């Protein structure tokens, strides 16, 4: 199995990429559905309709750029979950159909495993074992990655994901979507120490997160301050999220006795989070390139190669919108 195409459609990004067993990544295209900004979030069915529209052209362009044809493909890897059901179905049905037409096997990939293994696409790549912090609009979790297929969920959010907290804070402040960059931009001119914000669940043991209370706190603050104070609110909120995440990361390294932290997910691009991690865990944090941090097809093609033993031709289009990461086998 030489050439694997990876297809990612679990949320708003449409990603296609080619992974070659000898040469590594040989092509990678991502299309972000910017239209969603108008709705203040990812509209699930709109998202799946857009995946339908984008996928065929993107696959063609990917092959053209790599100077290959569909006949050169040896397997089709796709995100089978977790994610939005409608969006997953588009990627899964396209992939299974493509595999059947080419008479090659399909490989169902766990989106989070894609993220967990994606640092291995970098040069230099971090060695196993490591702790991974996955922070995005839909997920906030700490996972101990002992090796391929050996994942232990250390903690996750009990309510809102960190990225969701950013999106909702942006809504409270009358900013656009996605909320992360908008809140960060406003926070640049703000004083993070002017208002008190809680650091949820940092004063008790455990590695779970909770960002819902922070959202309520921000809401009550916004209701009683003037618009010119919003930059200070944004800065205080952002600092609270960054410190909360960094405190838990440090604790996760201590509890697992692992030496390295790898971050992924859209929120990992946040400058204040990176600064906090650097301050508390200097030299022990591995930052994959931003391109690999957000959703992409490269990580799916790559994880598909790791999962090549599970490649099959049964033609089943099975998606799992909810799929626990620690249910995967090595």
Report if residue 212 touches other proteins, rule: CB under 8 A. Answer: yes
Residues 39-68 as x/- pattern, contact with other proteins by CB under 8 A: xxxxxxxx----------------------
Report if residue 84 touches other proteins, rule: CB under 8 A. Answer: yes
Residues 219-238 as x/- pattern, contact with other proteins by CB under 8 A: xx--x---------------
Residues numbered 263-322 forming contacts with other proteins, rule: CB under 8 A: 321-322
C-beta of 40 vs 149, nearer to other proteins: 40
CB 51 within 8 A of CB 44: no
Q: Which residues carry a binding-site annotation for substrate?
A: 134-138, 167, 180, 270
Report if residue 216 touches other proteins, rule: CB under 8 A. Answer: yes
Phi-psi category of 174—alpha, beta or left, where left has phi over 0 and alpha has psi -120 to 50?
Answer: left
Which residue from 8, 50, 113, 164 is in contact with other proteins, where contact means CB under 8 A?
A: 164
CA distance 301 to 304: 5
The pairing of beta strand 106-110 with beta strand 3-8? unpaired
The stretch among 52-60, 216-224, 277-285, 301-309 that binds other proteins (CB under 8 A) is 216-224
Report if residue 198 touches other proteins, rule: CB under 8 A. Answer: no
**Smallest separation, CB 52 to other proteins (Å):** 13
C-beta of 158 vs 328, nearer to other proteins: 158
Give the tokens for residue 120: 């291995």
Phi-psi category of 265—alpha, beta or left, where left has phi over 0 and alpha has psi -120 to 50?
Answer: left
Which residue from 137, 236, 266, 304 is in contact with other proteins, where contact means CB under 8 A?
A: 137
C-beta of 19 vs 177, nearer to other proteins: 177
CA distance 262 to 241: 18
C-beta of 214 vs 253, nearer to other proteins: 214
By rule CB under 8 A, what count of residues binds other proteins? 32
Q: Which residues carry a binding-site annotation for Fe cation?
A: 111, 115, 295
CA atoms within 13 A on the CB side of 299: 29
Which residue from 51, 54, 115, 215 is in contact with other proteins, where contact means CB under 8 A?
A: 215
**Smallest separation, CB 133 to other proteins (Å):** 18
Sites of contact with other proteins (CB under 8 A): 39-46, 84, 86, 137-138, 156-161, 164, 168, 171-172, 212-213, 215-216, 218-220, 223, 321-322
């Amino acid at each position: 199995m030489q050439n694997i195409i990876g297809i990612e459609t679990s949320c708003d990004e449409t990603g296609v990429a080619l992974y070659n067993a000898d040469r590594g990544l040989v092509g990678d295209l991502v299309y972000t559905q910017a239209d969603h900004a108008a709705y203040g979030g990812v509209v699930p069915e709109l998202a799946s309709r857009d995946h339908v529209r984008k996928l065929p052209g993107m696959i063609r362009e990917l092959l053209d750029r790599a100077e290959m044809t569909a006949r050169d493909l040896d397997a089709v890897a796709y995100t089978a979950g977790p994610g939005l059901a409608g969006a997953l179905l588009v990627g899964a049905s396209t992939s299974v159909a493509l595999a059947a037409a080419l008479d090659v096997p399909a490989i169902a990939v766990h989106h989070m495993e894609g993220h967990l293994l994606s640092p291995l696409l970098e040069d230099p790549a971090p060695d196993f074992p490591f702790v991974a912090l996955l922070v995005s609009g839909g997920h906030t979790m700490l996972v101990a990655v002992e090796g391929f297929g050996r994942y232990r969920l250390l903690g996750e959010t009990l309510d809102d994901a960190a990225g969701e907290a950013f999106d909702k804070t942006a809504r409270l402040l009358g900013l656009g979507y996605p909320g992360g960059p908008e809140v960060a931009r406003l926070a640049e001119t703000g004083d993070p120490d002017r208002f008190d914000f809680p650091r949820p669940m940092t004063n008790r043991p455990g590695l779970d997160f909770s960002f819902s209370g922070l959202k309520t706190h921000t809401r009550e603050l916004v209701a009683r301050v003037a618009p010119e104070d919003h930059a200070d609110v944004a800065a205080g909120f952002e600092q609270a999220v960054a410190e909360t995440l960094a405190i838990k990361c440090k604790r996760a390294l201590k509890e697992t006795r692992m030496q390295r932290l790898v971050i992924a997910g859209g929120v990992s691009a946040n400058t204040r989070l990176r600064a906090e991690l650097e301050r508390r865990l200097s030299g022990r944090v591995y930052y994959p390139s931003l391109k690999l941090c957000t959703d992409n097809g490269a990580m799916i093609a790559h994880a598909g190669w790791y999962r090549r033993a599970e490649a099959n031709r049964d033609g089943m289009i099975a998606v799992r919108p909810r799929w626990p990461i620690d249910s995967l086998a090595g």
